[in-house]
Amino acid sequence: MQAIRTVDATRYITPLREGGSLPAIIEASDGELYVLKFRGAGQGRKSLIAELVAGEIGRALGLPIPELAFVELDDAFSRSEPHEEIQDLMRASTGLNLALAFLPGALAFEPALASPEALQLASAIAWFDAYIMNVDRTARNTNMLLVDGKLWLIDNGASLYIHHTWANFRERSRGAFPQIKDHVLLPYADALAEADIVFYNGHGLEEWLADLLRNAARPGQPQIAVSEGLPALGANDEFREGNPHFWMSAAFGARYLEKIRDGLIGIDPDGRAIYTANAAAYSKELLALNEELKQQAAALPAESRKIVTNHDALPYFAQEYGFTIVGNLLGSAESEPPAGDLVALVQQIKAQNVKAVFSESQFSPQLTATIAREAGVKVVANLYTDTLGEAGLGVASYADMLRYDMRTIVDALQ
């Protein structure tokens, strides 16, 4: 990878108003034009760090991102600036700043103006933005430019927001990126058609995938919801098809296996013997695990088997292993719960003598800790529900995840 060059700003040309920020076109000591992002601007240094890290990852992947450069801004620069707002910004940004090479003749991105070659990058860009957790490549703010039909990704700084809160960063980095549903290129991201077969959980979990599965599919491409036909619990406004978290029961996990086995045999009949043998061996392992988990749960007194978590991930776990879900912090919605619900939850925890509150790995533990404190019970960190965890923690496989969760729950409710 090329080293990042450092240049000096020599001439201020014009401000570029972009949403809340105020970058500027400048000329630098190398005679080139740059779009300068001021270190002292509202979004602060973290968005510049994200801009740099995400931008260089994209460039290393061969995506069309303008060259990034460091720009030294001299104190004297601000004195000749008539606008007070810009003068303040410059003064707050004396020293090192970040810039992208200016693209002359660039137009705002419009699908109709993009060349077919440009749109062929859609799958790669959507993947990249999910990887860097970029929340801002939406129709409202595409953060893309076109130069003669060629597409450029600019402004990759609304990403890696994980570095604003480091709690559980490893687990969160493995989680899904649901915001991808608003990605402006998603309708063009059609590399999915190249897959021989698509497996997804189903029961509404991948709603964001539905349009993509419909539009991007190859005719005849098998698309298999592995939870199809399983007896769902808890249909509500959010989960109209019922709760999708079947995998939290090893018995249902074994049912997923049948779907996967049959799907693979469908596209590769010659492999029938091996798929059947492998599925049978793994199924045997999961069913043995299921019995082991039942026994561990049964060792707890029935009145202790009460669970409170962040979100409604454990109904099938509770059903299979004999627990009661007292409540969860998000209620049935995937957003911040209303305060009244939390007060009621605290009362429930006290009234039902719940011994501990579990924080799931993909959530920040803060709210859980507050609830636990108010209810006067302990908070137990890191149940793995929607993601696996690090190999070193013993949660790197599906079976290990269930084993780990049961051990954690049984220990805490002892």
User: Which residue ranges make up the site for Zn ion (CB under 5 A)?
Assistant: 313, 386
Q: Which is nearer to Zn ion, 58 or 204 (CB)?
A: 204
Q: Name which of 313 and 325 has its Cβ closer to Zn ion.
A: 313
Q: How near is the Cβ of 234 to Zn ion at its closest, in Å?
A: 12
Q: What is the DSSP letter of 60?
A: H
Q: Measured between alpha carbons, how far is 402 from 396 in angstroms, rounded to an integer? A: 10
C-beta of residue 157 within 8 angstroms of C-beta of residue 37: yes
Task: Give residues with Cβ within 8 angstroms of 28, minimum separation 6.
Answer: 7, 8, 9, 10, 34, 69, 71, 99
* CB-nearer residue toward Zn ion: 64 or 315: 315
Sign of the C-alpha dihedral computed for residues 376, 378, 384 and 387 taken in this order: positive
Q: Which is nearer to Zn ion, 38 or 321 (CB)?
A: 321
Q: Which two structure tokens, joined as six digits, stand for 153?
A: 């990704």
Burial letters 63-99, b for 16+ CB under 10 A, else e: bbbbebbebebeeebbeebeeeebeebbeebbeebbb
Q: How many CA atoms lie within 13 A of 86 on its CB side?
A: 20
Q: How would you write 73-132 as a 3-class SS string? A: ECHHHHHHCCCHHHHHHHHCCCEEEEEEECCCCCEECCHHHCCHHHHCCHHHHHHHHHHC
The secondary structure of the chain in percent helix, strand, coil, rounded to multiples of 5, reads 45, 20, 40
The nearest distance, CB 176 to Zn ion, in angstroms, is: 9
**Alpha-carbon span 390 to 374, nearest angstrom:** 31
Residue, CB closest to Zn ion: 386
Tell me the two tokens of residue 158: 């609304």
Q: What is the dihedral of CA 334, 335, 340, 341, to 10 degrees?
A: 10
CB of 411 to Zn ion, least distance (A): 23
Minimum separation from the CB atom of position 249 to Zn ion (A) = 14
Least Cβ distance, residue 107 to Zn ion (angstroms): 41
Three-state DSSP at 361 gives coil
- We find the least distance from the C-beta atom of residue 146 to Zn ion, in angstroms, to be 38
- Tallying the residues shown for the chain, one arrives at 414
* Pick from 210, 216, 209: nearest CA to 189: 216
| Smallest gap from residue 403 Cβ to Zn ion (A) | 19
For Zn ion, the closer CB: 106 or 130: 130
Minimum gap (Å) between residue 98 Cβ and Zn ion: 36
Q: Which is nearer to Zn ion, 48 or 318 (CB)?
A: 318
Q: Which is nearer to Zn ion, 362 or 408 (CB)?
A: 362
- Give dist(CA 217, CA 388) in Å, integer: 28
Closest approach of Zn ion to the CB of residue 244, in Å: 7
Name the residue nearer to Zn ion (CB basis): 222 or 337. Answer: 337
CB 385, min distance to Zn ion, A? 6
CB of 313 to Zn ion, least distance (A): 5
371, 310 contact by CB (below 8 A): no
